[in-house]
Amino acid sequence: MHEMSVAMEIARIAEQKLGAQASMLCTVAVEVGDDSGLEPSSLEFCLDVVFRTPPFTGAKPEILRRAGNVLQVAYLEIDDGCPDD
């Protein structure tokens, strides 16, 4: 399953970017192009599974469909405890 290896790489990127804050991850948004060679629903499922494991605590994936062959992490949203953000 190609999508699982992509999901694991996205998790690695998130952990690298967030460091100790990885457990505060709420949302992972990924831009997936129609020509990327990935099945968006399968990628979403794999991301959901991967982000249930430590150091993450159930972050939700958000797939943003795009034209072309784009595949990139659009943003990482964390819960920093500030309701005004």
Q: Does a structural domain hold residue 54?
A: yes
pLDDT digits (tens, 9 = 90+) for 4-17: 999 999 999 999 99
Structural domain of 21: 2-78
pLDDT tens digit string along 70-84? 999 999 999 877 776
Residue 6 sits in a domain of what CATH number? 3.30.2320.50
Domain count, the chain: 1
Residue 41 within any structural domain of the chain: yes
DSSP character at residue 83: T
Rounded Cα gap, residues 24 and 9, in angstroms: 19
What pTM value is reported for the model? 0.88
